[in-house]
């Protein structure tokens, strides 16, 4: 771990931190980098991405005693059963797009595994704003704090706390 330097920024985009964390896991599945997984919907389009997901890059075995360039890999993709035929017809375009995204001829075959996709957890529904009575109670609890930004932040926090406590039945 490198030492902190005073000129280093305190905050960094989350995207800068995700790649180095998941790359070792993806490397065990044959992916040299996380791009194919992270940008699958951009590579193949929303419609294909909704019905498929890349599983693994399968590299052909290297003959012993050879060094250097390797043959292109096969991209193994899980696809919803009823959608496999359409993806099979579009395999050439998918391979082209993956290779264009990676910048070199990495993939030469698409292998389809039919079955249900691992679905991401659905996003939580947006919160409804607290009732006006709860906001007024939070404003009264906060009082007259001279810093307006702090007063508003504490009022929002108080309204959330009061809303949760009223929903859970406790006070």
pLDDT digits (tens, 9 = 90+) for 30-50: 566 567 777 888 888 888 888
Domains of the chain as residue ranges with CATH: 14-61+69-114 (3.30.300), 132-168 (no CATH)
Angle (CA) 151-156-160 rounded to 5° is 145
pTM of the model: 0.52
Question: Does residue 119 have a pLDDT over 50?
Answer: yes
> Among 72-81, 118-127, 150-159, where is mean pLDDT lowest?
118-127
| pLDDT over 70, % of the chain | 72
59 vs 66, which has greater pLDDT? Answer: 59
**CA-CA distances (angstroms) from residue 120 to 52, 67, 117, 123, 124?**
13, 40, 9, 9, 12
CB atoms closer than 10 angstroms to residue 70: 12
């Amino acid at each position: 771990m490198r030492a902190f330097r005073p000129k280093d920024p305190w905050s960094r985009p989350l995207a800068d931190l995700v790649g180095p964390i998941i790359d070792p896991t993806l490397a065990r599945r044959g992916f040299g980098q996380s791009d194919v997984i992270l940008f699958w919907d951009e590579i193949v389009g929303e419609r294909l991405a909704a019905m498929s997901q890349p599983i693994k890059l399968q590299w052909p075995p290297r003959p012993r005693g050879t060094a250097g360039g390797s043959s292109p890999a096969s991209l193994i993709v899980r696809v919803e059963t009823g959608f496999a035929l359409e993806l099979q017809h579009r395999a050439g375009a998918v391979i082209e797009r993956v290779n264009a995204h990676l910048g070199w001829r990495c993939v030469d075959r698409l292998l389809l595994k039919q079955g249900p996709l691992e679905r991401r957890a659905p996003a939580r529904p947006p919160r409804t704003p607290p009732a006006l009575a709860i906001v007024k109670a939070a404003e009264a609890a906060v009082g007259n704090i001279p810093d307006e930004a702090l007063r508003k932040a504490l009022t929002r926090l108080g309204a959330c706390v009061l809303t949760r406590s009223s929903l859970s039945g406790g006070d």
